[in-house]
Chain A
């Protein structure tokens, strides 16, 4: 009897096993990355029915976010503006800005027919997640923290993963993100641009005791005047204001205690 199987088949099972091992290894590496919002959501950049440019409006023109997303500070939703909002500036007979542009055709048409423009949803929380914009914007979290550099985006894209882990990261360490309330819609905000004296003066004006501020900078320290606080702060954080410095102070004095309960988001 001849051999039915050629000699190389002797090694086949082992080769297959090794290959399978590699595949399993590869898959186990790939799944935690490619099957998570970090990959599936970040970078989602659908084409919108109207080529509205945030880069022009929020970046170059410097429109405040709340001009269009007017209810973000009072409601759970940050509303997409009504067609009227667009029309007020661009509509013929209104602001008339570029009203003849073919890009605005749909806006003009919507105003005539009353049929809304169908914007494509980018940031979508699952049905069982009850996110609330007003709870964040009123307490020192900026638009930019979750939506990225919108003012630099020609077409808006998903900048952050918005996964539960990502939410919790910030809820556990809010000091890494908190900023003064007047900087919430400043998308170019950098803590180092802040004036340290002005920042601490603001806190003192709010009735917060200098001792408490000093204690927050470095536990056990005391201070009675702004100068002492400033000295303490530059000793601890260096020349420029840092995020940690601002965040730690705000967290302490605004009593920021981001809940980590299930019911915070799931009801």
Chain B
């Protein structure tokens, strides 16, 4: 029998934290799932029932057959040692290499774990000046390498061709180019900081002076680039120093999430937010945005503001700082904005020299010009924002110029080297021109996508872990990207294609050297080394090796620029700007943003990212129209109901999703979804693309805010996989926060919230090993002779980016289950990023104690606060799951872990039902072995697709069991890493007593990947460990402490730093002892 927790009765007077409006309003769609560990587990769905009836007999027959076939003899297995020893390789031990993942803005410095030559996991490079934490994209990039649906063979107009034909094709292009010195040839590259790429492009331009080079990214920053060029100077870039910024105002710049701007690592920002002493020094973030972003969630003050009003907001701030040019723009502002901004700007002015204003990279040049002038007036340049002198780079024209060139008809051949998908994501006028003008398209890409299939020649791209490359990080620090593995499918990198166009390399599999001859040097390697020589001053082998070892070249960052702000350019850019109009119900605005799973669409085939629910909407495997509660409710919409967005003759039909915190009359649509025929992740089994393609809504490549659109409600509905109401713990002061002031007055507020203030000494029903072993407590945990693991998660620092989820998935071989299973509540990720909205509008006077239902107004929902809380297994000392396991598959270890012995588990699921934190996951199917669209067929699934895909096997961590069907799994604090650390210490200890691992020398995967450094983990028995320091904080509290489970994971309550002069400041992070 399931034991129901008798939670204390809900007080109805306090602040409320809720995951969905349905929870807040106690709607049946929430209540039906609430408290049920396995929502679809108790009864068979129609599909399941149908399948089992149809197949029961067949299955029985098959099993009997297999039993007969199973031989009693021991299967013969072989050991194949290396023939010649491989340098550095020790079988059974991973090798770590420093490398970097190139991005549009710069690079993510990495340490790559390889097992016998297979890269399996990436982690941040702590040595690098910008190192520290990864985003989910970088963390998941290793899966792209092994994507079974990756582009593997060259295509010619959609048909398989050979590498020889590819080389011939390129030769033909070169022959043409030689005759007209490249006049009809165009090369389109993505945004990249690779010095080698820029050097080779310049070389190409020198050889073919008439050829044109363009840069195109689906999600570009043309406005920002123009403003920077004209206001700050052509070769100058900005670099934000979070460590110096005490007052930050963000104009829809999601710098913690999807709009990474060049600046110090996120940890420098979060370091300024976790203060245990209230002496100040904590930074303050103001945020204006139309939808919730991770940055908005971290903000101390946030105002929902239509994206089309952002230029007006910038203009108002400029006006306060006596920058006169902006008054026309400022006049367009909606009422209330000026009043909201006034105290904020005063605060910025009070912190001259430590204040900074940042704007979303996708806004127009006028916004960025104003921001430059504002920052100049605030004394930000040289302190919070550094101006750096960019290195030399090839001159690349913009996307709009590309369109003009194509339309003119002068282009005969277009070589697309950009990671974007031209025929899918470029504006229709551009992609239409490519198709109608009969341009010969040569395409390099990872996926066999629209462009690849249509191109005259498609070349499979090499992954960044497969080829030599180099990059400059945001501050200019130079890194060499090392290949970790031979290209799995002979793919070519951008540099290789450019080298091929320079006639210096043949693409395709490397030619075998003649007998006895030494293999010829790889021209790409040569090219990178040549660039290194020019960056480092000389080709010093020692320096080269050191660069490869550390992952970067010391002292190679850009030099500081001496540039000054060009005020005239600011006025001319601002003068050119159109005066924005506030959106209305009949003319809404559409805001196009990158997607947290697929970015601009390039990660569409990455199942880890697709299955990580969006941090804000909790939507997996799809995109949708985010509509603010006011608009959503006035239209009478339901989650998943289809809406039609139209602007002129462009339109898009897609499902709607209610987004608390979203401004009214505004619709946010994420980009990148809706790509057809991309295999089993990017599209479904019928080849129909996942999600909905929003690119056709834009008229030109830099249009991300579309005003004057029409929003129509349709009758159809669409199944969305929203996880926000799954695995609820419901209420009871799970999330705790307060302002810096409250903390100063009442430092122990976290321990006095909810039931915590009046719980008796351990009241647990589940007795057992608890606490430290002493004479009075002989059954306790041994702190003298054992490690005692513990974890603290600092909610002041956690930004909710979901990088930990992906890191955990990569480290622990967690399977992907597919959209249908996510809908059924069977997501397998061990870490769950709980996103709560918070409202305290209904204070004591408003809510009646006998009334459970709360009827929020649209405005209350629009102004809800948003907080994030990652939850995994809490490693309870007095664990409820252990007492109910009939086979002792989950038991405690001496070092305080709640262990799972997978091979013992028989799948009763009692443990999951008894877990108050709903942290356990059940393998309903052989997710690793079966195709996701044929899970229900079991052993009868298509034999061609059955079994783990060969390439995916390569990714698995060899130190963790791959679980099978019918087994419960959950977080074990990366026990494989802990055991490895203990054994490593044994090799040092040998004949001594020195068994304890060096302080903080072991990191768990989520902690390692956390860009905010929110997770402390370590040995509680080691007094110097950082986890002990964190546990000593007065902000420390345990989830559901009153049930007496004694979790080893605890949380530090969040602190916020509101400005008392701001309107509504008293409501922000208001602490209430009776919150739920």
Contact = CB atoms under 8 A, between A and B. Distances in A.
B987 A73 contact: yes
A88 B991 CA distance: 34
B1064 interface: no
A83 B84 contact: yes
Chain B interface bracket (under 10, 10 to 19, 20 to 34, 35 or more): 35 or more
A120 B78 contact: yes
Residue from the set B74, B786, B904 with the largest chain A CB neighbour count within 10 Å: B74
A81 B881 CA distance: 45
Contact of A79 (B74, B92, B894): B92
B848 interface: no
Contact of A267 (B83, B84, B979): B979
A127 B75 CA distance: 14
A261 B894 contact: yes
B76 interface: yes
Interface stretch (B369-377, B627-635, B690-698, B895-903): B895-903
Binding site secondary structure of chain A: loop
A130 to B, nearest CB: 7
Contact of B903 (A75, A76, A266): A266
Contacts of B904: 262
B78 A263 contact: no
Contact of B83 (A44, A83, A132, A266): A83
Residue from the set A79, A134, A254, A267 with the largest chain B CB neighbour count within 10 Å: A267
B960 interface: yes
Interface in B895-936: 895, 897, 899-904
A84 B961 contact: no
Interface string A231-267: 0000000000000000000100111010101111011
Interface in B937-982: 959-961, 972, 975-976, 978-979
Given A84-B85, A130-B979, A267-B960, A261 B92 contact: no
A115 B79 contact: no
B91 A79 contact: yes
A139 interface: yes
A124 interface: yes
B67 interface: no
A135 B85 contact: no
B562 interface: no
Contacts of B74: 40, 44
Contact of B986 (A81, A117, A134): A134
Interface string A173-200: 0000000010000000000000000000
Contacts of B92: 71, 75-77, 79
A220 interface: no
A130 B78 contact: no
B82 interface: yes
B1029 interface: no
Nearest to A259: B894
B489 interface: no
Contacts of B786: 257
B384 to A, nearest CB: 46
A45 to B, nearest CB: 12
Interface in A87-114: 110-111, 114
A138 B959 CA distance: 21
Interface residues of A, number: 51
A168 interface: no
A266 B90 contact: no
A19 interface: no
Nearest to A114: B83
Contacts of A206: 991-992
A263 B83 contact: no
B983 interface: yes
B82 A263 contact: no
B959 A130 contact: yes
B83 A116 contact: yes
Contacts of B959: 130, 267
Binding site secondary structure of chain B: loop
Nearest to A79: B91
Contacts of B93: 71, 74-76
Contacts of A85: 85
A84 B82 CA distance: 9
Contacts of A120: 76-79
Contact of B987 (A114, A138, A262, A264): A138
Contacts of A33: none
Given A82-B84, A259-B894, A138 B91 contact: no
A121 interface: yes
A240 to B, nearest CB: 23
Contact of A132 (B76, B79, B975, B983): B983
B117 to A, nearest CB: 14
Contact of B993 (A77, A119, A134, A255): A255
Contact of B78 (A76, A111, A121): A121
Contacts of A267: 959-961, 972, 975-976, 979
A257 B785 contact: yes
B893 interface: yes
A82 B81 contact: yes
Contacts of A46: 76
B81 A128 contact: no
B979 A263 contact: yes
A103 B396 CA distance: 66
Interface string A124-145: 1011101010110011100000
B81 A116 contact: yes
B500 interface: no
A111 B91 contact: no
Interface in B56-93: 74, 76-85, 90-93
Contacts of B585: none
Nearest to B963: A128
A30 interface: no
A138 B986 contact: yes
B990 interface: yes
A117 B81 CA distance: 7
A130 B983 CA distance: 12
A35 B767 CA distance: 39
Contacts of B901: 262, 266
A167 interface: no
A263 B893 contact: yes
A206 B983 CA distance: 22
B783 interface: no
B991 A80 contact: no
B83 A115 contact: yes
B137 interface: no
Residue from the set A40, A82, A120 with the largest chain B CB neighbour count within 10 Å: A82
A266 B902 contact: yes
B928 to A, nearest CB: 13
B84 A134 contact: no
B719 interface: no
B785 A262 contact: no
A118 B78 contact: yes
B893 A262 contact: yes
B916 to A, nearest CB: 23
A262 B992 contact: no
A32 B959 CA distance: 32
Contacts of B91: 71, 75, 77, 79
B972 A254 contact: no
A253 B987 CA distance: 16
Instruction: Rank and list the top 10 A-B pairs by shortest CB-CB distance, nearest first.
Output: A77-B92, A261-B893, A75-B92, A262-B901, A76-B92, A118-B78, A255-B993, A83-B83, A121-B77, A116-B80
18 contacts: A71-B90, A71-B91, A71-B92, A71-B93, A74-B987, A75-B92, A79-B91, A117-B81, A128-B961, A132-B979, A139-B990, A206-B991, A206-B992, A255-B785, A257-B785, A261-B891, A261-B894, A261-B899
Given A71-B92, A134-B986, A254-B990, 11 more contacts: A83-B81, A84-B84, A85-B85, A118-B80, A119-B79, A130-B959, A132-B979, A206-B992, A261-B894, A263-B979, A267-B972
Interface of A: 40, 44, 46, 71, 73-77, 79-85, 110-111, 114-121, 124, 126-128, 130, 132, 134-135, 138-140, 181, 206, 250, 253-255, 257, 259, 261-264, 266-267
